[in-house]
Amino acid sequence: MIITKKVGLIVNPIAGMGGRVGLKGTDGVEILEQARLLGAQPESHNRALIAIQKLLPIKEKIELITYPEEMGGIIAKKCGFQPTIIGSISKGKTTSEDTQKAAKDLLDLNIHLLLFAGGDGTARDIYDAIESKVVTLGIPTGVKIQSAVFARNPTRAGELALAFLQERTHRVRETEVMDIDEDLFREGIVRAKLYGYLTIPYERAHVQSSKAGSPETESFAHQAIAEEIIENMETDYFYIVGPGTTTRAIMDKLQLVNTLLGIDLIYNKKLIANDLNESKLVHHIQGKKVKLIITPIGGQGYILGRGNQQLSPDIIKKIGKENIVVIATRNKLNSLNGQPLLVDSGDKGVDELLCGYIGIITGYREKSIYKVVC
């Protein structure tokens, strides 16, 4: 038997427990206890099982490596694998530290793909532990799924993992790890934050066409957008470059240092500052001619209010709608399934200002007129 691929598996056994009992997530020991008292049952196992069952056809060709018991060992065996079990846990009392430790241990074993079952909190743990050093894919089992690192459902996660391991799809893409502030969320306030990017197997929006001759790759689309932006940059304007991989391509093309998760400022194609917070940004742009370049963050199409909260309503008012340049790949727009783009700046007036139809730059000399609602 020739083992060709190592696959890591991490199951967050408590992810998803809050949902059925009306809690919004299970981050934090107290909430978890509350969930258990309310009769919550582990959801993660069943959903993770659906995904890894899809790998059974190549069982002989992969080595499935996982943590003991409820963190992967149980379902791997139940599914029919003979997993390599590493690490140790306190049964029934796993925490986010266990997830992080498992991710690091698996990375050390040079795995080809890391499958993890959980929610946004789990994705964040994985990112904190190993960033995007290995190709990863989320099996959605949590209550909150805002991160784009998850497949649409466990079945798709399994199929995409299978396609990647069988080398039917080679490409990978960076996608957002988003998480919300759970304390605020339980009070009914939704605020998502962009925590980082994980690399996942790439799947074109909706379907892979076997007829399409040369559909553009994500990286090509980024390059084309960056070219369009740079060609039209006006002199003596400050350009605020928002977070995201689409905006990063502009900085890369200009050979400027970029903050993937933060706000950068350039002037006449030269870097002024990286990773600015609201007050520093205000200081730099006060009384100046300014344009803002932003891209929708996360899978839900927010152009403001998710992942770029440094751009406060006051700053947006100063910049003015006419100076906001929104960029997005077609793949990203199409993945919205016709739903409009969203703004949630925290200020109703600003949100209304941005509502309506805007031109989104989607390529070199290409734009789409798209609806924005608040």
Burial of 187 (0-12, 13-18, 19+ CB in 10 A): exposed
For the CB of residue 288, give the shortest distance to other proteins in the complex, in Å.
27
For the CB of residue 160, give the shortest distance to other proteins in the complex, in Å.
11
For the CB of residue 159, give the shortest distance to other proteins in the complex, in Å.
6
| Cβ 46 vs Cβ 107: under 8 Å | no
Please tell me the distance from the alpha carbon of residue 26 to that of residue 357, in angstroms, as a whole number.
38
Nearer of residues 246 and 309 to other proteins, judged by Cβ: 246
Contact status: 92 vs other proteins (CB under 8 A): no
Pairing relationship of beta strands 113-118 and 136-140 according to DSSP bridges: parallel
- The tokens describing 330, both together, are 């077609």
Nearer of residues 32 and 117 to other proteins, judged by Cβ: 117
User: Where in 154-213 is the site for other proteins (CB under 8 A)?
Assistant: 155-156, 159, 168-171, 204-213
Pairing relationship of beta strands 192-201 and 172-180 according to DSSP bridges: antiparallel
Contact status: 359 vs other proteins (CB under 8 A): yes
Nearer of residues 31 and 341 to other proteins, judged by Cβ: 341
- CA angle, residues 284, 260, 27, in degrees to nearest 5: 110
Contact status: 227 vs other proteins (CB under 8 A): no
**In this chain, which of 75, 139, 343, 358 binds other proteins, going by CB under 8 A?**
358
What number of other Cβ atoms are within 10 A of residue 27's Cβ?
26
**In this chain, which of 59, 191, 289, 371 binds other proteins, going by CB under 8 A?**
371
Count of residues near other proteins by CB under 8 A = 40
Q: Which stretch binds other proteins (CB under 8 A): 131-139, 249-257, 261-269, 334-342?
A: 334-342
The dihedral built from the CA positions of residue 140, 146, 149 and 152, taken in this order, carries a sign that is: positive
x/- map, 301-320, other proteins, by CB under 8 A:
--------------------
Q: Which stretch binds other proteins (CB under 8 A): 15-23, 38-46, 297-305, 356-364?
A: 356-364
Please tell me the distance from the alpha carbon of residue 90 to that of residue 236, in angstroms, as a whole number.
60
Closest CA to 135 of 44, 68, 197: 197
Nearer of residues 170 and 270 to other proteins, judged by Cβ: 170
Nearer of residues 78 and 371 to other proteins, judged by Cβ: 371
Contact status: 357 vs other proteins (CB under 8 A): yes
Contact status: 370 vs other proteins (CB under 8 A): yes
Closest CA to 297 of 287, 283, 307: 307
Nearer of residues 54 and 193 to other proteins, judged by Cβ: 54
In sequence order, which residues have a C-beta less than 8 Å from that of residue 148 and are 6 or more positions away? 175, 176, 178, 298, 299
Question: Which residue bears the tokens 């790998």?
Answer: 55
- Residues lying near other proteins in the complex (CB under 8 A) are found at 152-153, 155-156, 159, 168-171, 204-217, 330-331, 333-334, 337-338, 356-359, 365-371
